[in-house]
Amino acid sequence: MDERVVGIDPGLNVTGFAVVEPTRRGPVVREAGVIRPKGESSKTMAGRLLVIHEGILEILDLFPPSALALEQVHSHINHPRTSILMAHARGVIVLAAAERGVPVVGYAATRIKKTLTGSGKAGKEQMQHAIRIELGLDQLPEPHDVADACAVALCHYQIARNLRGIGGL
């Protein structure tokens, strides 16, 4: 589909995904869930990355998108190792998208918050409310990895829609 977007919340233990499509009533979640390395595959970094890579390829094959949206890696001064580990997961996700010819767009967390709520400093509750309202959901998707994937997909959807509206896409 032309405007379908896959949003990904990368993680080595749990990677959330959301497939968002436009409808006449606005964006809807077509599919959402998590990729969770288990058993033998979860014992090594290589095993986890392989499961994530294969899971993303499967999603891209089942729901070919116009773009894959990811939150940009951010680092915290007290936890530099976390950003390095997250970059591994993000790398295999970007690789899967490249293998399928899907453009990847990264967004800073503050950009996602500002796009969905109007404030780059929005709190978790405000973000959850925006996701529920925009997608017309009765409740927020669980686990939080799926909600975060919905947020990055919605961010891209809204930015792309606005750019098309002003002749930018």
Active site residues: 9, 71, 145
Beta bridge partners of 96: none
- What single string gives the DSSP state of each residue in 94-116? HHHHHHTT--EEEE-HHHHHHHH
In whole angstroms, what is the distance from residue 158 CA to residue 27 CA?
A: 9
Amino acid letter, residue 76: H
Cβ neighbours of 64 (radius 10 Å): 14
